Amino acid sequence: MKQDGFIEALRRELSSLPKAAIDEIVADYREYIGDALAAGRHEEEVIAALGDPAKLARELTAQANYRQWEAQRSVGNLMRVVASVARLGLLQLLLLGPFLLYLLMLTVGYVVSGALAVAGLVAMLVLGSHHFFGTDFNLNLGKETQTKSTDQVGDLHTDFAGLQVLDKRFVLRLNNGARVDLVTTAGPIELKRDAQGQLETEIPDDAARKLLTQNADGSFSIDRDAVNALDFRDTVDGRLSLARSGEDKQALSWNIVDTDGSHASFDQDANGDTHHLSVNDNSDGSQVSIGDGGIAVDDSQDHIHISGLGGKTLESIALRYAVIALPIGLLGLLLCIWLTCITWRALTRFTQRQIDALSTSFGHTPAR
């Protein structure tokens, strides 16, 4: 091969480098070849001694990328050096696959640990605010897939649109065909609306009558503390019943039955915290039960039971898992950072040794 052919092939193989760097390398090799010819050596002999221009270009590219990384140490520049070194031989290429897999696993570790840490921190801040600062936050119970609007019942959400709680008062909205029976501290109250929309009330005691207020929109409201029991039957939403329990009559037991037979029941203490939640979906026979320090999930094929939770409320269970997730996430992040530092140092040393070996092999060439 002649000098011009060698230089042309070398320039072509170095096309990934900046033009200024290519021109500098080509000028050095022209000078080297010119000095060798002036010393009386044959052109073909000099070109043959330089070796394959493609292999030489890979080695020169690795050296150039390494010098760029030394000037500006960044992950991107280091990855370019590693890729350049990997193209130099079979061993380096075989090592590249496991190394990339290791980087992938390290990245997954960062993502999972970061997600656990953030989720645990957010959950502790939100749930903890309710326990320590009195901020109102509650877990919701409801059928999010249905198109009915959800209304708040105490500290919970339900799709039973006929009943909601506003400012510690039960608000009752009766559809055609609906009926509400209440047992109050002053006596019974019966409200019903027939299929034609005609409202009928039966309130034997005047004291009970004074507890009930009819609003401008046709709904009724009553102080929730004055209600000992309630039974609401609706042709659209199904049936909802509640009853006070406990020695001080401050706890509430709820039971909601949908028109398809699905039902949910739960208890609320005086603070509005939820206990002993049970949900039964009649469409597929699945059941979920939370209470007595455990969670049980059943469907037609599987049964899952988690015991030993020790929490008295849904919020305390979630808070406990948040307390566990946060330190696990932080420890995972610290481990990933430590592995990253070790990887950076090891990769730097490996790359340095490879470049030093190239520099030694270039002792007879103008490469620098």
The tens digit of pLDDT for each residue in 27-41 reads 888 888 888 888 888
pLDDT at residue 292, rounded to an integer: 65
Q: Is 365's pLDDT higher than 70?
A: no
pLDDT above 90: percentage of residues in the chain: 19
Select the more confidently predicted residue: 182 or 347.
182
Cα-based distances in Å from 19 to 3, 22, 54: 20, 5, 17
pLDDT at residue 158, rounded to an integer: 57
pLDDT above 70: percentage of residues in the chain: 74
Select the more confidently predicted residue: 70 or 154.
70
CA diameter of the chain: 128
Select the more confidently predicted residue: 245 or 147.
245
Token couple for 196: 């034609």
Please, what is the average pLDDT of the chain?
77
Work out the pLDDT band at 145, boundaries 50, 70, 90.
very low
Q: Find the mean pLDDT for residues 58-77.
A: 74
Pairwise CA distance, residues 217 & 158, whole Å: 21
Select the more confidently predicted residue: 171 or 321.
171
Q: Is 127's pLDDT higher than 60?
A: yes
Q: Is 319's pLDDT higher than 80?
A: no
Select the more confidently predicted residue: 159 or 4.
4
Query: Which residues does residue 169 pair with via DSSP β-bridges, in sequence order?
Result: 166, 223
| pTM score above 0.75 | no
Question: In this structure, what are the phi and psi dihedrals at residue 101, rounded to the nearest 5 degrees?
Answer: -65, -40
Q: Is the dihedral of CA 81, 82, 84, 89 positive or negative?
A: positive
The residue among 254, 281, 257 whose CA lies nearest residue 266 is 254
Pairwise CA distance, residues 187 & 214, whole Å: 18
